[in-house]
Amino acid sequence: MRPPAHETKSFNRLFALYALPALPLAAIALPFYIVVPTFYAGNFGISLAAIGATLLAIRLIDAVTDPLFGWFSDRFAHRLGRRRVFFALSLPLTSLAAFMLFWPPQDAGLAYLGLWGTALSIGATWTLLPYTAWGAELATGYQARVRLSAFREGATLIGSLLAISLPFIGGLDTASGFHGLAWIAVFIAIILPLAGLATVITVPEPQDVSRRRLSLRESMAHLTSNRPFLRLAAAFLLNSFANAVPASLFIYFVGERLGVPALQGPLLFAYFLSAIAGIPLAVWCAARLGKHRAWCLAMLAACLIFSAAGFLEQGDVILFAIVCVTTGLLLGFDLTLPPAIQADVIDNDTVRSGEQRSGLYFAAWSFITKLAVALSAGVVFPLLDLAGFVGDLNATQTGTALSALGGLYAWLPILPKLAAIAIMWRFSLDEDEHRRLRHALDRPQS
C-alpha cells in the first residue's frame, strides 16, 4: 500500500510549520505552574496552601471544559476544516488571559489569580485540543508520529527556554513595573496569534476517516472501553505527577536547599536545553525499541538519578547540574513518546467505533496532564506548610522544612514512575499491531 504523501521525509517542513504555535504555548504552561505560585506568594502575601487549593479548583473546572471542547472540536464544521478554524477562534481568549495573569496589578489577590487562571485554563484548553488532534491526524504512521511529536515538543522546549529566561532576566522580586512575568505576558500576546495564524494558513486540514457519528454518551462509552488508552492514561497520569512534583519545587530546592538562588535560571535553562538534545535520542530509541519500551527505559533511568538527588545539600551545585542535564535528556522521552502512543490508541478506537474522535481523546489527555500538575501542587505545598516551610523567598527555613523539601523533590516522584513502568512494559499496541489498525482504516479510502 502506498503511504500517504505526508508520511514522507519531504513533509518534515510541514511538521515544522505545524509546530510553530507550540513555542508560545509552552511559554504559558511553564510560568503558570512554576513561576506564578512563587511570584503571587512572594509579592501578594498569598499562602502556598491557598495557591495550591486554587490551582486544584481550576483543574476541577477542566473536568467539564475538557470533554466539551474535545467534543466540539470533533463536531465543529467549516469549509476550511474543523481543526484549523476551531483552533484559530481560540487565540484571542488565550492571549488575553495569559497577558492579564502574567502582568497583574499591584493589588492583585487570590480572587484575581482564580479569575484569570480559570480564563487562561479555558483558553489554553480550547487552543490545545484542536491543535493536538490536528497533529495526531496529520501524521498517520507509527514512526512518523514520533517525528511530528519531536518537532512539536522541540518547539515546546524552545518556548520553555524563553519562559524560564525572560522572568529571571526581568526579575521576580517585585510586582511593579515591567517585571519578569510581564515580559512573558507581552511575548505571548504578540507571538501566539502570529504563530497560530501562520500555521492555520500553511498547514492543511487532515482527512476525517469517520464512517459514522456517535453521541457524546456513545463516545464516552467507547473511550472507557479502549483498554490500550486506559493503560496509557494510567501510566501517563503517574509519570506526569512524578514530573510535576520536582517542577513545582525546583525554585525552592535550588534557592533554599542548595542555597544558590542566583543559579535558579541557569540550572533550569540547562535542564530544558538538555531536553532538546534528548528529543532526537528519543526518536532514535523508539525506532529500535518501540515507543513504549524506549519510554519505560527512560523512566527507569530517571528513578535512578532522582534516588541520589535527595542527598544533595547546600553548595552541591555541580552534582545538581549533572542531575539537571541527565534528567533533562530523559525529559525529551517524556515529551515526545507518550503523545505519539496516544495517537496510536486513537486509531484503535476509530477502527472499533467508526468515528475519528481525536479531539475527545486529547481532551482526556489534557485533563490528565492538568490533574497531575494540580495534584502535585495540592499535595506538596500543604506538606511543605506542615513541615514549617515559608513561601517567602527571604525567610529563614528550619532544618525540618529543608529536609522535607529535599525528600519531596527527589524521592516522592520515584514510586509513581515505577508504577508507570510496570503498566507500560508489556503494552500491546506495538508497531505491528498499529500497522494492522492503519490497514483497516485506510482500506475504505483506497
Report pTM. Answer: 0.82
389 compared with 17, residue with greater pLDDT: 17
Residue 179 Rama label (left phi>0; alpha psi -120 to 50; beta): beta
C-alpha cell at 284: 532514535
Q: What is the mean pLDDT of residues 1-28?
A: 75
Residue 398: CB atoms within 10 Å: 12
Residue 5 has pLDDT above 60, yes or no: no
Residue 20 has pLDDT above 90, yes or no: yes
Q: What is the mean pLDDT of residues 191-195?
A: 95
Cell 477562534 belongs to which residue?
89
CB 239 within 8 Å of CB 371? no
Residue 31 has pLDDT above 50, yes or no: yes
The whole-number pLDDT of residue 269 equals 86
The whole-number pLDDT of residue 175 equals 65
CB 368 within 8 Å of CB 336? no
C-alpha cell at 104: 497583574
Question: pLDDT > 90: what percent of the chain?
Answer: 41
416 compared with 259, residue with greater pLDDT: 416
> What band does 444 get if pLDDT is binned at 50, 70 and 90?
low
Q: Which residues are CB-neighbours of 145 under 8 A, at least 6 positions away?
A: 136, 139, 340, 343, 344
> What band does 174 get if pLDDT is binned at 50, 70 and 90?
low
Domains defined along the chain, listed by start? 19-445 (1.20.1250.20)
CB 184 within 8 Å of CB 27? yes
Tens-digit pLDDT profile for residues 85-98:
999 999 999 999 99
> What band does 397 get if pLDDT is binned at 50, 70 and 90?
confident
Residue 7 has pLDDT above 80, yes or no: no
Q: Which of 161-175, 264-278, 301-315 has the lowest mean pLDDT?
A: 161-175
Q: Which of 95-99, 193-197, 274-278, 371-375 has the lowest mean pLDDT?
A: 371-375
Q: What is the mean pLDDT of residues 130-136?
A: 92
Pick from 30, 43, 39: nearest CA to 187? 30
Q: Which residues are CB-neighbours of 283 under 8 A, at least 6 positions away?
A: 146, 147, 150, 336
